Amino acid sequence: AKEAGRNTYRFYTEEMNSHALHRIRLEEELRYAIEHKEFILFYQPKLDLTSNDIHSVEALIRWQHRTKGLIPPIEFIPFAEETGLINEIGEQILDIACKQLQQWQQKSSPVEKIALNISSCQLDKPEQFFSGLEDRLNRYGLRRDQIKLEITEHLLMGKDDNVIAQLHHQRQSGLSVAIDDFGTGYSSLSYLQVFPLDELKIDQSFIRNLSENSKNKTLVQAIITMGHALNMSVIAEGVENQEQMDFLIDNGCDQAQGYLLSKPLPAEALDNWLADNFC
């Protein structure tokens, strides 16, 4: 193996070689992680700005690595998407999320709904994806309206009519769909009419500079108005201070999510937080 390793240095630059090695290692590590179920979910509450209640959370993946500790999604999700490993990871996440929702249901937690982040390739075979979802809902005694899919504009752009038809069908039976990172894509807005969407999630980059940047204020107001005009609920992510929160409330935003309220937490920590703050 050492010999082969040396030989490759003749053909590739050292940098390219170490990059390739990194990818090979990461792929092995990810396969190991899938096999040993090393992925966990943290949950971040979504505050309903009308009722001041929390009924739903967003599930955010972390990799509980046996030696490296908690690894954030940015370090492995893009690679998992490239290699297609995201499909298996996605199935595990779905199972964890549904099991957790069942537990919350059994202890009468205020959390009734989970939003899941979905990568584009997970919807390449929509029938398979939705039948997997159906299985989990049945297994854990859940309804479709307890699940929200967070998808990006980018994901929608590449999809054919079949995916759109399936999403329509799923929505008719209760599933909801949010458009994530809204405002960061490059496409026209016409997809908002075409695609079946329930929720528009304003990207955190607009929220971050809200106070210093009056253009962002105008944009956020316009996005809220537009979302409502299209019958969508509007949520802001990345809300970190009270000033941002007040602006969103004053401008009729429906929900808010961010560190001001809570960071993403493991289920048990979220339960404690809810008990301390909302009961």
Q: How far is CA 234 from CA 16, 117, 197, 205, in A?
A: 44, 17, 11, 15
Q: Which stretch binds Ca ion (CB under 5 A): 43-51, 128-136, 172-180, 189-197?
A: 172-180
Does 87 bind ligand C2E (CB under 6 A)? Our answer is no
Q: Measured from the CB atom, is 17 or 183 closer to ligand C2E?
A: 183
Minimum distance from CB of 235 to ligand C2E (Å)?
11
Does 100 bind ligand C2E (CB under 6 A)? Our answer is no
Reading the block at residue 247, the tokens are 């602006």
Neighbours of 98 (CB within 10 A): 23
Reading the block at residue 253, the tokens are 């935003």
Helix axes 2-11, 14-35, angle to 10 degrees: 130
Does 152 bind Ca ion (CB under 5 A)? Our answer is no
Binder of ligand C2E out of 26, 34, 77, 164 (CB under 6 A): 77
d(CA 47, CA 258): 9
Minimum distance from CB of 265 to ligand C2E (Å)?
10
d(CA 235, CA 227): 10
Does 124 bind ligand C2E (CB under 6 A)? Our answer is no
Binder of ligand C2E out of 9, 12, 32, 259 (CB under 6 A): 259
Does 181 bind ligand C2E (CB under 6 A)? Our answer is yes
Q: In the 8-state DSSP scheme, what is residue 265?
A: B
Minimum distance from CB of 93 to ligand C2E (Å)?
5
Q: Measured from the CB atom, is 27 or 181 closer to Ca ion?
A: 181
Does 238 bind ligand C2E (CB under 6 A)? Our answer is yes
Instruction: Say if residues 234 and 223 touch (Cβ distance below 8 Å).
Output: yes
Q: Measured from the CB atom, is 17 or 181 closer to ligand C2E?
A: 181
d(CA 179, CA 12): 41
Residues at the contact surface with Ca ion, assessed by CB under 5 A: 117, 150, 180-181
